[in-house]
Amino acid sequence: MDIENQALADGHGPNISEAFTINGQPGDLYNCSFGTYKLKVVQGKTYLLRIINVALYSELFFTIANHTMTVVAIDACYTNPMVTDVMVISPGQTIDVLLTADQPLASYYMAAHYYDSLGSAYDATTTTAIITYENATPSTPLMPILPAVNDTSAAFKFYSSLTSLVNGPHWAPVPLKIDEEMFLTEGLGLVPCGANNTCGAPLGLQFAASMNNESFELPTKLSMLEASFYNLTSGIYTTDFPKYPPVVFDYTNTSNKLNTALIMTSRSTKVTKLKFDSTVEIVFQNTALVGKQSHPIHLHGYNFYVLAQGFGNYDPVNGPKMFNLVNPQKRNTVAVPVAGWTVIRFTANNPETPALRLDDANLGILPALLDHKSNPNEPSSRFPNLKEVNPDFGLGEPLGFGKLAFSSTASGWSRPRLVKLRKPKGRMETGKDDSGFNPLNTNVENSSGFVGNRILDAMGKLRFGSDQLRIPCVFKGIGIDKNAVSKLPQEIGVWLMHCHFDSHLSWGLATAFIVDDGPTPSTSLPPPPPDLPLCSSYAKQRRFFSKGGGNAETIFVYKRIVFAWFGSWPGFLVPCFIVFVWFSCTKCKAQYSFALKFWH
């Protein structure tokens, strides 16, 4: 955090990392490594690896010596099986691959290194882990050949070759009717330094990042979700985010680099209002005003279809001819190509209402849960008893380190609870009050996809009467038995769309969508609880107003810590790229942590 704060204060880019890791270890090629992660396999067996890149700023190439991998899912969405010997993965993306141990008995390196789309200073280390065949004679592991760090063609080939598994689980056809169209330029820019200060970015200015020349700023007085609910938006945000860039120019032409007429951005908190159930199509256009670079863009709350990608400036005449409307890849984070463009489409809702139905079949389910009122020490009376626990899916106890686990996230309107499947009857119950702040926490905890007041997005709906159940097979979580039937929550509220490079988000490469209430109470945002915590290190007084005006009441919120996280990802198998991330809340002394743990 100190490194990023220093970069923001000085106006230059953050220092590069010193090493990459696989499951917490830099590997054999790094002098200070404490060890190398090893995965033992049995010849002839096939393994599912769930891979996630949680680096702050780095896209990574990944490969395994003498082995191919079959991609079967991305961002928890099923794909047509695609065989590859190398992958590229952006921060926040997940890839599920099948690995068949079909080589001679020996040891083989897994390896990853940086994909440098910008051409600037980068971490030149290569991280390794070892796949060791059972009964293999000890030997030096074979090293794979990785693409060159600047091999954009290899990266684009992988990104653009993925397609969805039509008629597979949770598939829905691409919506053809478009209600909202947006063209968003994105990239680095510059803003003035503070008074009497010279910054470290070009021209003595400070780095910024923007969409359509607007650098997003988080409000500090009130969360956007509260402001929207109580109609107290003055001074918090405006709804005039531009749908098109203010100036049309040759976006990817390097002759415009550092063009002072184009490079200066504006700081603002501008959002886009979307009607419930509207379909949105967005063209992301990278620019080259500071440099050419790939940008991973993540949308909270929704998966979207990636219709097409390409290099250069998007052509509105010929571009739609490239659209894949049959089986486009579906995901929540897309890497917009260096000096290129990407077109996505999504519908601003998710089907049906939050509920969980269990049939008579033997099954087990571990959903993620937001249950504001449950007593953490007693079984929840609102959950059904299961007929029988399925050991393939049900988990009956907290898991230790090295087993399936993930860190927590909480919204500003609720606190997550640990959900356990108790043996032998399989009663689901809340088992833990708050998610702790220990980055090495090894309990299975909430994976709801909600984030808190710092990021001010994805806080969705929460109904105390029925609890908010998140079914992870759709929302980036762990599995659900095929015999279970689920309904999913509507996505109403405030949702952030941002670059998954941490520094770019800090510089303002983000915007937000506010999705209007639907036509029924079950598709409308409920009021917040009266003890909604503030992001504050001391007691503060807050005045709540009823929606649409009316009575007011004064409450006191005492010293609390509010969670903040950029999203939630699936249950993880090895290998996983791992970092620890520390955030500071706006005007808040408390710090927050995120830690990735793994299962094999």
Q: What is the span of the domain harbouring residue 32?
A: 18-161
- What pLDDT is recorded for position 328? 98
In-domain check, residue 36: yes
In-domain check, residue 418: no
Is the separation of the CB atoms in 322 and 308 below 8 Å? Answer: yes
Q: Measured in whole angstroms, how far is the alpha carbon of residue 485 from the centre of its chain?
A: 26
DSSP state of 255: G
Is the separation of the CB atoms in 238 and 514 below 8 Å? Answer: no
291 and 205, same structural domain? yes
Report the CATH number at residue 51: 2.60.40.420
pTM of the model: 0.68
Q: What is the pLDDT of residues 547-570, one digit of tens each?
A: 333 332 222 222 222 222 223 333
- Give residue 253's identity as a one-letter amino acid code: N
Does the bond joining 533 to the residue before it have cis omega, within 30 degrees of 0? no
Give pLDDT < 50 ranges for the chain: 350-490, 535-600
228 and 309, same structural domain? yes
295 and 191, same structural domain? yes
In-domain check, residue 511: yes
Q: What is the pLDDT of residues 143-200, one digit of tens each?
A: 999 999 999 999 999 999 999 999 888 889 999 999 999 999 998 888 888 766 778 7
510, 526, 542 - which closes a domain:
526
152 and 33, same structural domain? yes
* Helix (H) or strand (E) run with residue 228 in it: helix 224-230
Is the separation of the CB atoms in 409 and 448 below 8 Å? Answer: yes
116 and 50, same structural domain? yes
307 and 213, same structural domain? yes
144 and 103, same structural domain? yes
Give the SS3 label for residue 194.
coil
Is the separation of the CB atoms in 294 and 337 below 8 Å? Answer: yes
DSSP state of 365: B
Residues 6+ apart with CB under 8 A from 135: 105
What distance in Å separates the CA atoms of residue 60 and residue 174, rounded to the nearest whole number? 30
226 and 98, same structural domain? no
- Number of structural domains the chain divides into: 3
In-domain check, residue 7: no
**To 5 degrees, how large is the angle CA 305–CA 309–CA 310?**
170
- Give residue 489's identity as a one-letter amino acid code: P
526, 541, 574 - which closes a domain:
526
In-domain check, residue 137: yes
165 forms beta bridges with none
In-domain check, residue 545: no
495 and 346, same structural domain? yes
What distance in Å separates the CA atoms of residue 124 and residue 87, rounded to the nearest whole number? 18
129 and 77, same structural domain? yes
What distance in Å separates the CA atoms of residue 209 and residue 212, rounded to the nearest whole number? 10
- What pLDDT is recorded for position 494? 76
What distance in Å separates the CA atoms of residue 290 and residue 264, rounded to the nearest whole number? 11
> In whole angstroms, how far apart are CA 89 and each of 75, 97, 158?
11, 12, 9
Is the separation of the CB atoms in 544 and 555 below 8 Å? Answer: yes
Report the CATH number at residue 581: 2.20.25
What distance in Å separates the CA atoms of residue 13 and residue 3, rounded to the nearest whole number? 10
Residues 6+ apart with CB under 8 A from 295: 186, 187, 284, 286, 335, 336, 499, 501, 504, 509
What distance in Å separates the CA atoms of residue 193 and residue 200, rounded to the nearest whole number? 10
503 and 564, same structural domain? no
288 and 146, same structural domain? no
**Closest-CA residue to 38 (of 595, 587, 600):** 600
In-domain check, residue 502: yes
* Helix (H) or strand (E) run with residue 229 in it: helix 224-230
Which residue is associated with the tokens 């033992």? 40
Which residue is associated with the tokens 């068949």? 100
Give the SS3 label for residue 204.
helix
In-domain check, residue 216: yes
**Closest-CA residue to 306 (of 182, 163, 172):** 163
